[in-house]
């Protein structure tokens, strides 16, 4: 049996790695890349002519069922479902059951995670533009933790988190309302420094630290008027507040899920050329001609927390 990925899988991997290079991911702790690659199944001609990809933030039981119903070739899950080493694969564990079901259905799994955080135009830049109003309102935008692997490459400037300096200062109340509107949320978690509690409408916020997901470690040495992230620990938030920095948080994955439509569009633009390259490499006139690519966003993926 051939161990080579199928032409369709190779094409999807080419597109993903072109958009979100794996060398930008934080390999010190993150588990990015191709996580599951089952033996290729005999697919129907209609599936081969229009391969389907499902995007999600978390690969849950419900998302796996959705992928199987969709006859997806791959699930691209922002968070890696395999994070710590597995000592077994059994149906006694729900996440392992999900993996076994996907293997049985011939569906691959890929996680770009911190590569999406780091790359220019990724999730942190998307958040920065949503919070500031766009780069035209910013005096500067830099990575908080630059990627050493990006230096001297076309990805120069990539890194984890963003530090934005506004051209004109704003107030905490305006920032909160902008974040609510941008993310489509009715409620946020806010930890106000003393100065912002006393004068919430004073325009004294010029520097904003931004980090999708969990920003505590990224923000460790950041000096800013405001920190925005999905979540921070109790002690991290307390330390920031005591130092005069306010915090806006909105639960971990709510800072990430809204980026999926942008990822979808980028993939739809990148896949056709990646397929042409695969066909050229194969050098075969007998390869099935892919007529189009379908990239779907999960309709059942959501943050585990509800506000009641």
Show the tokens assigned to 95: 């996440």
**How far are the Cα atoms of 40, 164, 199, 306 from residue 106, in angstroms, in the given order?**
6, 43, 58, 33
**Beta-carbon count within 10 A of 226 CB:** 25
Per-residue pLDDT, 197: 85
Give pLDDT tens digits for 115-124: 999 999 999 9
Q: Are residues 22 and 108 in the same domain?
A: yes
Residue 152 lies in a domain: yes
Per-residue pLDDT, 199: 79
Identify the domain containing residue 145 by its residue range: 120-253
Per-residue pLDDT, 245: 97
Per-residue pLDDT, 42: 55
Per-residue pLDDT, 306: 87
End-to-end CA distance of the chain: 53
Give pLDDT tens digits for 184-199: 999 999 999 998 887 7
Report the pLDDT averaged over residues 69-92: 95
Residue 1 lies in a domain: no
Provide the number of structural domains found in the chain. Answer: 2
Mean pLDDT over the full length of the chain? 92
Per-residue pLDDT, 5: 79
Q: Are residues 112 and 69 in the same domain?
A: yes
Question: How confident is residue 6, by pLDDT bands cut at 50, 70 and 90?
Answer: confident
Q: Is 79 annotated as a binding residue?
A: yes
On the question of pLDDT at 43 being above 70, the answer is no
On the question of pLDDT at 46 being above 90, the answer is no
Q: Is 117 annotated as a binding residue?
A: yes
Per-residue pLDDT, 270: 98
Residue 307 lies in a domain: no
Q: Are residues 178 and 77 in the same domain?
A: no
Residue 248 lies in a domain: yes
Q: Are residues 110 and 126 in the same domain?
A: no
Q: Are residues 225 and 261 in the same domain?
A: no
Residue 308 lies in a domain: no
Q: Are residues 195 and 286 in the same domain?
A: no
On the question of pLDDT at 69 being above 70, the answer is yes
On the question of pLDDT at 2 being above 90, the answer is no
Question: How confident is residue 90, by pLDDT bands cut at 50, 70 and 90?
Answer: very high
Strands (E), 95-244: 108-111, 138-146, 159-170, 189-191, 205-214, 226-231
User: Which distant-in-sequence residues (6+ apart) come within 8 Å of 232 by Cβ?
Assistant: 214, 215, 216, 219, 240, 247, 249
Give pLDDT tens digits for 235-293: 999 999 999 999 999 999 999 999 999 999 999 999 999 999 998 887 754 455 677 89
Q: Are residues 146 and 246 in the same domain?
A: yes
Q: What are the residues facing 15 on neighbouring strands?
A: none
Q: Is 252 annotated as a binding residue?
A: yes
Per-residue pLDDT, 3: 64
**Beta-carbon count within 10 A of 65 CB:** 13
Q: Are residues 148 and 84 in the same domain?
A: no
**How far are the Cα atoms of 3, 24, 148, 149 from residue 156, in angstroms, in the given order?**
35, 11, 9, 9
Q: Are residues 140 and 209 in the same domain?
A: yes
Q: Are residues 229 and 269 in the same domain?
A: no
pTM over the 0.85 mark: yes
Q: For position 144, which CATH number holds?
A: 3.40.1390.30
Q: Are residues 15 and 100 in the same domain?
A: yes
Higher pLDDT, 66 or 38: 66
Phi/psi at 16 (5° precision): -65, -45
**Beta-carbon count within 10 A of 136 CB:** 8
Q: Are residues 244 and 280 in the same domain?
A: no
Per-residue pLDDT, 39: 84
Residue 2 lies in a domain: no
Residue 279 lies in a domain: yes
Higher pLDDT, 22 or 44: 22
Distance (Å, whole) CA 277 – CA 11: 8
């Amino acid at each position: 049996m051939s161990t080579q990925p199928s032409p369709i899988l190779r094409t999807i991997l080419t597109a993903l790695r072109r958009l979100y290079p794996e060398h930008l991911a934080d390999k010190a702790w993150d588990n990015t890349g191709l996580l599951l690659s089952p033996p290729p199944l005999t697919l129907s001609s209609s599936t081969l002519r229009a391969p389907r990809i499902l995007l999600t933030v978390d690969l849950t039981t419900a998302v796996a069922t959705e992928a199987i119903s969709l006859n997806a070739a791959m699930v691209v899950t922002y968070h890696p479902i395999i994070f710590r080493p597995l000592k077994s694969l059994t149906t006694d564990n729900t996440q392992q059951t999900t993996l076994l079901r996907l293997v049985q259905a011939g569906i691959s799994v890929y996680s770009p995670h911190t590569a999406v955080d780091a790359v220019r135009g990724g999730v942190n830049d998307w958040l920065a533009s949503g919070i500031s109003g766009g780069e035209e309102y910013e005096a500067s935008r830099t990575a908080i933790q630059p990627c050493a692997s990006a230096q001297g490459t076309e990805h120069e400037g990539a890194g984890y988190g963003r530090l934005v300096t506004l051209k004109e200062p704003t107030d905490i109340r305006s920032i909160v309302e902008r974040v609510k509107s941008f993310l489509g949320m009715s409620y946020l978690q806010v930890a106000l420094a003393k100065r912002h509690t006393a004068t919430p409408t004073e325009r004294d916020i010029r520097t904003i630290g931004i980090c999708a997901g969990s920003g505590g470690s990224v923000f460790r040495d950041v000096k800013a008027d405001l920190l925005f992230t999905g979540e921070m620990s109790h002690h991290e938030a307390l330390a920031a507040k005591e130092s005069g920095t306010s915090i806006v948080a909105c639960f971990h994955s709510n800072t990430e899920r809204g980026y999926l439509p942008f990822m979808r569009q980028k993939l739809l633009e990148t896949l056709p050329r990646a397929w042409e390259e695969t066909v050229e490499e194969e050098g075969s006139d007998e390869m099935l001609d892919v007529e189009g690519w379908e990239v779907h966003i999960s309709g059942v993926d959501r943050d585990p927390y509800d506000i009641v």
